[in-house]
Amino acid sequence: MSQSIVSSRMALIKPSPSVAAKSMVDDMRAQGHDILDFTIGEPDLPTPAHIGQAANSAIARGETKYTNTLGTLALRKAISAKLKRSMKLDYATDEVVVGCGAKQVIFSALTASLEEGDEVIISAPHWVSYPDMVVLNGGKPVIVVCGPEAGFKLTAAALEAAITPRTRWLIVNSPNNPTGAVYTEGELQELCGVLERHPHVWLMSDEIYEPFVYDGGVARSPIALMPSLKQRSLLINGMSKAYAMTGWRVGYGAGPKDLVKAISTLFSQSSTCTSSVSQAAAVTALESDQGCVDEMVSIFEKRRDRLAELLNEIPGIECKPSAGAFYLYASVKGLLGKQTDTGEVIESDLDVVMFFLSKAGVAVLDGAAYGLSPYLRFSFATSMEVIEEGCERLKRAVSTLR
C-alpha cells in the first residue's frame, strides 16, 4: 500500500468554501443545470476599458519581464499617492509591497510574523480564509463571535477580553465580508484605544472593499485614526473589487519596512513578482479618473436595496441592507425545523443551502462557513435580472415547506 506524500498539516485546513462553491456551480452548469449564483464575491461588471487598454499598451512597449519583488516603482508610487489621497496616510515606496492579490499578501504577512502558537484575533462572521491561513502558519485563531446585537462588529470590551500575552495580530475587515458591516469612526477609535494599551498586538486592516460604502457613508481606516499604530499595522487593499480586476491578481500591503521586506523575501522564493502587465494596468486604474468606481458603487447600491427588499418578502428570511461591501447576511432562523415535500427536516443553514440549490437552482453560501449560523451570505455582485429571478425561485421553494 502506497503512503501519501501529502503532509499531515494539510489535514488542518480545508478548501475555501467560496472557491469550492464557485467550482460546484461551474460543474453543475457544465452538466446542463440552470443555476443562479449568489456565492462569488466578484463584480460581474467588466474591467473598465481604459484599464484593459493600458495593459495592451504595456505589452506593446515590451513591459513583459520580471519586476522588483516589491512591485514596480510606478505602481508603488501610485499606491502611495492613493493612500495619501483617500486615507490621508503617508507611506514611502519601500513601505509598500505588491502581491498576486490581497490574499497572497495576507498569507505572506502571517508567514513572516507568526511563531508557533501565536494567537490571531478574528471576529466572526469573518472571511473564510483568515482562520485557515493562521493555522497553516502555525498560529492559533481566536474567534470572537459578534452577533447581530453588536451589528456583527467587534467591540472594545470583547477585544480586551480576547487579548493574551500570546496575541500577535488583530484582523479588522471593514467593510466586512460576509456581513457588509462598516465600522464607524468612533468604533474604530475604541478598538485602537485597546490596542494602544497592548503594544505587543499588531493590527492587520483588510480594506479590500473600501470604496463600497452606501447611504452616503465613508470607510475609515483605523490606522489613519490613530497614527501611533502605523508602525505596528499592515494595511491590505487591492485592485480586484474596486476595479473589477479579480483575474488580474493585484493586491498590496502597506506597513513598516522590515515587515514589507520580509513579505518581499517570501515572494522572491515563491511567485517572484506579480504580472508586469497587470501592474501596468493597475497604475492606470489608480491614477486615472475614479468615475468608473463611483458608477459601480451606485449600481451595487441599487442591487443591494432590491435584494434586501425581495429577501424580506420571503417567509423565514430576514436581513437588513448592508452598510458596505457587496453582500447581504440574511438570517434563515425562520426556516429551521421546516419539512420539505420529500419529508426532510431543515436543521441548519447548510441544509437551507442544499434545499435552495436542489429545489430552486439557486446557489448561496452558509453562515457556518463564516463562523456564525443560521445565516446565508448573498452576493449582489450580480445582475438585477439574476436578483429578481433568484428571489422569485426562492420564494416558490419556501412556499413548498411545511
The domain locations on the chain are 8-33+292-399, 65-288
pLDDT of residue 21: 73
pLDDT of residue 24: 78
- Using alpha carbons, select from 126, 100, 128 the residue that is nearest to residue 22: 128
pLDDT of residue 2: 58
pLDDT of residue 278: 98
Beta 362-363 vs 365-366: how paired, if at all? unpaired
pLDDT in tens, 175-196: 999 999 999 999 999 999 999 9
CA distances (Å), origin 261, targets 40, 71, 161, 278, 385: 32, 12, 32, 22, 46
pTM of the model: 0.95
CA-to-CA distance for 175 and 145, rounded, in angstroms? Answer: 17
C-beta of residue 319 within 8 angstroms of C-beta of residue 181: no
pLDDT of residue 10: 84
C-beta of residue 103 within 8 angstroms of C-beta of residue 120: no
Fold of the domain built from segment(s) 65-288: Aspartate Aminotransferase; domain 2 (3.40.640)
Residue ranges for the chain with pLDDT beneath 50: 1
CATH number attached to the domain at 8-33+292-399: 3.90.1150.10
